[in-house]
Structure 1
Amino acid sequence: MSDHNDVAIVGAGPVGLIAAHELARRGVSLRLIDKRPGPSHTTRAFTLHARTMEMFEHIGVAHRIEEVALPCPGNVYHFEGMSEDEKPRTDFRGLPTRYPFYYKINQNDFEQVLREHLCAHYGIRPEYGQEFTDLAQDADGVTLSILDKASGATTTHRSAWVVGSDGAHSRVRERTGIDFVGDRVGVMAMMDVEVEDFDFDDSWVNYFIGESLFMLVTKLPGKLWRVYLSDAGAMTQANDPRRSFQMVADKIGIGMRIGEPRWATQWEILNSAASSYRAGRVLLCGDASHVHSPAGGQGMNGCMQDAFNLAWKLAAVVDDAAPDSLLDTYEAERRPIGAQITAGAKSTHDIVMAFGQGIEDRIALTREPGWQQRTVELISGLSHNYRDTVRGPDVDSVAGPRAGDRAPDAQLVVEPRKRLFDLIRHGGFTLLFVPRPGEEEDLAQAARVAELVRAVFGDRVSSVLVSGDRIAGFDEDHRIPDQLGELAQRYAIGEGEARAILVRPDMYVGGHCRLADAEALVEQVSCWLRPRTAMPAIAS
């Protein structure tokens, strides 16, 4: 093992693994350490939402996730005394994505998929039993102190950058002196257990809600079920968790029989956030930077999206393709998303765990106009955007997704199937040119701007012609027709219109304009990357 590298990642859970994937695929040398003796064998988080699955498709692991997960259409809210046809639902089946549902998965299985992919494609394995204890940073890098828990010896390791993905009790955050401020909002217990006589649809996540208690019950892949509990007293019987859970199940009238737990835990629910996501060459990611109620199952998803946002930027800085000020956009973009996740979790928390508030008041929240759609879009991650922090090019605006929005997928070719997400599955930016069919002026403009972007940014920007027309400068890997008109529909491109769309490495729109203004998108890339050469004037 080298005594120095580009990035040291502390914490090899889902966040650290995603950060490692996104850095490694861009050629960044890294070390991934974790104080645990080995991989986790417990489930912990169990939901993967639509935007996360789109990210996994980009990384190349979505197909393996699907093999070890169960699709879930959504959540059912069983309020005490409510008839079956009255029960509110958050139904994910209408989402505009290839993943109109969410997946239930054992976190240990999911982490294993990521570790296998990381090893198979990049030769990287987490180093377990390596406990980060301290750090000191200077202008050129960070020196970490690492305890080998097997031998008891402490060594130092030098990295240019450090990513702290070591959870809510982050020692990286503590040693860096970053405050973690928030409130305690409740207590939660959970177990993985075999269940009998459960007479409700186990494909859904079932919330059972009483005046002073709450229980979640759903089937996981394999034999086990996940059962959550929050109430005003039964959890104090921590010496007999099965009995505590059975008491609540009986009290709320679920009618199921709970076996001996395979695994059980209890913790305080916090809404907390770091005062800063960065201190010099140290960056916090995931739970190290923010935590919130688990209601809605957004925590792990949002935390992995933090890593997905950070890693491509850090890779660009390491490669000297961007100034280190680019890293400041990580917090600027992700902190508001963290606030949105907290708000989304709170909206569900206030329905299922607002003990002391009347059941009727909580039911009323589910009947507010737009409640289901708003909740589903927030929890799925599809409505998260950077509109307030990503400014588009200074040209006339167009309809459709704009700078900072999630880039929607679209099927382009029927057979063999080809999608927009196939075109952007690489480590850089993608510049899409959508000309009017047969318009020579549009094709010439696309060719000119593609040549310009190659001159200024090289292969960090991939230019793609979305057209059935052939033209020099776009080979078969970079030319494709919109056979179904789905891209035009998803990006609101009207008949007789020609567009240019810039997509960032994290699958967000960097800019969207008329094709005639496409050179402005070349300039837009310089918001994130350092041009290799001065931008020349485009020939007319």
Structure 2
Amino acid sequence: MAAQVDVLVVGAGPSGLALGVDLARRGVDALVVERADGLSPGSRGKGLQPRTLEVFHDLGVLDAIRAAGGTYPVGMVWRDGRRVGEYRMFDAPEATEGVPFDEPWMVPQWRTQEILLARLRELGGRVAFRREAVGLAQDGDGVTVYFADGTELRARYAVAADGGRSTVRRALGVGMVGEAVDPFPALVADVRITGLDRDNWHFFPGGEGAGGGEVAGGGEGGDRLMAICPLAGTEDFQLVARFPEGTAVDLSPDAVRDLVAARSHLRREDVNEVRWTSDFRPRAALADRFRAGRVLLVGDAAHVHSPAGGQGLNTGVQDVYNLGWKLGAVLRDGAPASLLDTYEEERRPIAAGVLRLSRSVHRGETRRGGATRQLGLGYRTSSLTEETRGNPGPVRAGDRAPDATVNGLRLFDAFRGPHWTLLTADADVARVYGAGVFLIRPDGYVGWAGETPEGLAEYVGRVGAEGAYRTLG
């Protein structure tokens, strides 16, 4: 049966929408399907790391993201109705020329999704709501996805972006191994509150007069912690509360008001509106595989994170940034289908490492800071990486390609788009990258580096990048 679309993306969360944007700008015929009536509500993953801001710059949504959010507020610890000390959420970054976005940016997840959806539609991409995938079958030519309404759709490739309880992953029979990060159930809610300033992230470590856990150095506090954070660009606050093990979390508005009154100096009536609630138990899990035939897993369908350190949404965006250009190369540029094997090769070890990091942050063993910004992640050991210099400089093949100004042009502006970029010997390049010639992948990592262009043509032919790069320097 002939394919009706090139790529079917199941799930319209941040990962699915970002992949839709990337594929649309590459001219790939893709459809994003979502079982719900619309985008999911709630602030959920509100922290966008610097590396994700760089991706959003490339995808053409950074200005909207910057306008919709703000910097992280300073934490304020309360006890018995008094402010007892500030709490810095992140270690101070080191601003450099190569890192234009040096600190996380806070945007409610619902707003990030709206921005990505608007960009997708601007590029001519499509999203179909109320399309619940319930099963699939695949062969050597494509994937057939079956929907709850009895219809089906044929695609050359399918991508599971349908969350931690992924229907697609289960239909594939791909296992996911995980563990609880801690035993305490938690509640997250978007609320409107009077009586708290919007300049601070407010922490109530143990409730009024209740004792309990402290806000540990980078950790998530005790089993009665409540935190209320202003959501930049909105009138809302995000409330997160933890409960003793075995507690049945009540998500009703009245229960949220009772909780605020019990654990802070605020009154029930100070909670003007409860706009959205959800419960969760922090866990970490990793899928056994990120690819099964013509189906690939991204985001929470591939890895589930503790919310500590803001890693889950960001890692999902990095997944699709890695996958999007490879699907485009195979489907539009004549690259070998084996290029898609490098998606799991590159992303699964990264996800495993980020899971270890988020667990460590959750338990207070690691501060939020350099590692959580995701700028140091790379692919030095990938089969797509070739470093041919005998004495590499500060930037090696496989590393993130830093920003710089070369002949008056900002590199991040030159990198924007679906192409590869060749940086030839230039004083400005050498100042940031070190001496050499560098071929930058479409996802902003150095694929090949050499002292001269010798050997570059062979690499370009191997990865299917002929005619797909521009030269600077």
TM bucket (normalised to shorter chain) is 0.7 to 0.9
Is the CA contact (8 Å cut-off) linking 2:7 and 2:156 kept in structure 1? yes
> Aligned letter for 1:504?
R
Q: Could you give the per-residue CA deviations for residues 374-425 of structure 1, whole angstroms, max 9, x where no partner exists? A: x4122111111112325423342321111111111113466xxx31111111
| Residue 167 of structure 2 corresponds to residue 168 of structure 1 | no
Shift of residue 521, structure 1, vs aligned partner: 3.0
TM-score, normalization by structure 2: 0.85
Change (3 A) 1:333 1:84: farther
Change (3 A) 1:226 1:89: closer
Distance (Å, rounded) in 2 between the aligned partners of 1:207 and 1:426: 45
Higher mean C-alpha displacement, 316-325 vs 418-427? 316-325
| Residue 392 of structure 2 corresponds to residue 398 of structure 1 | yes
Q: Which residue is equivalent to 1:427?
A: 418
Q: Of residues 234, 247, 259 in structure 2, which corresponds to 1:245?
A: 259
| Residue 322 of structure 2 corresponds to residue 380 of structure 1 | no
Q: Which residue is equivalent to 2:449?
A: 512
- Report SS of the residue matched to 1:36: coil
Distance (Å, rounded) in 2 between the aligned partners of 1:286 and 1:215: 27
Is the CA contact (8 Å cut-off) linking 1:241 and 1:264 kept in structure 2? no
TM-score, normalization by structure 1: 0.75
Distance (Å, rounded) in 2 between the aligned partners of 1:70 and 1:435: 36
Q: Which residue is equivalent to 2:225?
A: 214
Q: Which residue is equivalent to 1:522?
A: 457
Question: Which runs of structure 2 are paired with 1:187-266 in the superposition (5 Å)?
Answer: 187-198=185-196, 201-202=199-200, 208=205, 209=215, 210-220=221-231, 221-232=233-244, 236-239=249-252, 240-246=254-260, 249-250=263-264, 257-266=270-279
> Aligned letter for 1:262?
R
- Report SS of the residue matched to 1:261: strand
| Residue 285 of structure 2 corresponds to residue 267 of structure 1 | no
Change (3 A) 1:206 1:27: farther
Change (3 A) 1:200 1:144: closer
Is the CA contact (8 Å cut-off) linking 2:437 and 2:449 kept in structure 1? yes
Q: Which residue is equivalent to 1:104?
A: 106
Structure richer in helix, relative to its length = 1
Question: Which runs of structure 2 are paired with 1:387-536 in the superposition (5 Å)?
Answer: 387-389=380-382, 391-412=385-406, 418-435=409-426, 482=428, 487-491=429-433, 493=434, 498-514=435-451, 517-529=452-464
Distance (Å, rounded) in 1 between the aligned partners of 2:376 and 2:261: 39
Q: Could you give the per-residue CA deviations for residues 461-480 of structure 1, whole angstroms, max 9, x where no partner exists? A: xxxxxxxxxxxxxxxxxxxx
| Residue 339 of structure 2 corresponds to residue 326 of structure 1 | yes
Q: Could you give the per-residue CA deviations for residues 25-63 of structure 1, whole angstroms, max 9, x where no partner exists? A: 111111211111123343322111110110011111111
Q: Which residue is equivalent to 2:126?
A: 125
Q: Which residue is equivalent to 2:181?
A: 185
> Aligned letter for 2:417?
H
Distance (Å, rounded) in 2 between the aligned partners of 1:295 and 1:118: 29
> Aligned letter for 2:23?
L
Q: Of residues 122, 135, 154 in structure 2, which corresponds to 1:158?
A: 154
> Aligned letter for 2:395?
P
Change (3 A) 1:350 1:421: same
Instruction: State the superposition RMSD in angstroms.
Output: 2.8
Is the CA contact (8 Å cut-off) linking 2:77 and 2:86 kept in structure 1? no
Greater relative CO, 1 or 2 (CA 8 Å, sep 6+): 2
Q: Which residue is equivalent to 1:57?
A: 57
Q: Which has more radius of gyration?
A: 1
Shift of residue 183, structure 1, vs aligned partner: 1.3
Distance (Å, rounded) in 2 between the aligned partners of 1:347 and 1:412: 39
Q: Could you give the per-residue CA deviations for residues 293-318 of structure 1, whole angstroms, max 9, x where no partner exists? A: 01111111110110110111111112
Shift of residue 337, structure 1, vs aligned partner: 1.4
Is the CA contact (8 Å cut-off) linking 1:249 and 1:255 kept in structure 2? no
Is the CA contact (8 Å cut-off) linking 1:12 and 1:165 kept in structure 2? yes
Shift of residue 325, structure 1, vs aligned partner: 1.6
Change (3 A) 1:325 1:92: farther
- Report SS of the residue matched to 2:37: coil
Distance (Å, rounded) in 2 between the aligned partners of 1:207 and 1:318: 52
Distance (Å, rounded) in 2 between the aligned partners of 1:135 and 1:24: 24
Unmatched runs of 5 consecutive residues or more in structure 1:
149-153, 352-364, 366-370, 437-481, 533-540
Is the CA contact (8 Å cut-off) linking 1:35 and 1:129 kept in structure 2? yes
Distance (Å, rounded) in 2 between the aligned partners of 1:67 and 1:19: 22
Change (3 A) 1:103 1:88: closer
> Aligned letter for 1:405?
D
Percentage identity across aligned positions?
35
Shift of residue 283, structure 1, vs aligned partner: 0.7
Distance (Å, rounded) in 2 between the aligned partners of 1:331 and 1:126: 26
Is the CA contact (8 Å cut-off) linking 2:251 and 2:277 kept in structure 1? no
| Residue 49 of structure 2 corresponds to residue 114 of structure 1 | no
